[in-house]
Amino acid sequence: MTCSLMTDFEAWARLSARLLRRGPLDGARVIRDAGVEHEWHAADAHWYGELVQDAESGRWDRIERYRMLCAQSRGDRSSNAEAARAAARRWRVEDYAWLCAELERFPERTDAIWNARGVGGEVARQAVREVWKGALDADGELRARFDELVDGYREMLQRR
């Protein structure tokens, strides 16, 4: 790895997720092959502490991202979808409207746009869409606000 695990949550989380359900010898091999054996234990302790602080402060973005990476690593599609649903329920309408406007404006960047929000894979993406479809269909005022926001964000993005 070319980055420091101490400063790169995503790199740590991906490697940590790969270690799930591996024995100590196999896990040590994965760490060695990644070239981070000199910093793994310190980085693991650091990010574990950061996730605990996030939970204590009610910040769930990194926790949800880590949960999704772990689910993907295990091949657990239902957990991945549930993690995406849980995260989407905490989004503000502004967050979802911006996502929709970005996806519309930059279809070639679809994966990067979703991944920036910690939503990887089509199963997780569909789960997010379902949460917001339900919310928007159930609340006319929310739908009107969403439509207004998407229109405004679309205009902003077209000026870029």
Query: For residue range 63-99, what is the model confidence (pLDDT) as tens digits?
Result: 888 888 887 776 655 556 777 888 888 889 999 999 9
Q: How far apart are alpha carbons 131 and 146 in whole angstroms?
A: 14
- The 3-class secondary structure across 35-101, one letter per residue, is CCCCCHHHHHHHHHHHHHHHHHCCCCHHHHHHHHHHHHHHCCHHHHHHHHHHHHHHCCHHHHHHHHH
Q: Total domain count for the chain? A: 2
Same domain, 45 and 83: no
For residue 32, the enclosing domain spans 9-59
**Boundary residue ending a domain (32, 59, 86):** 59
Is 70 within a domain? no
pLDDT tens string 31-66: 999 999 999 999 999 999 999 998 899 888 888 888
Same domain, 50 and 98: no
Is 35 within a domain? yes
Is 65 within a domain? no
Q: How far apart are alpha carbons 117 and 94 in whole angstroms?
A: 14
pLDDT of residue 8: 93
Same domain, 84 and 123: yes
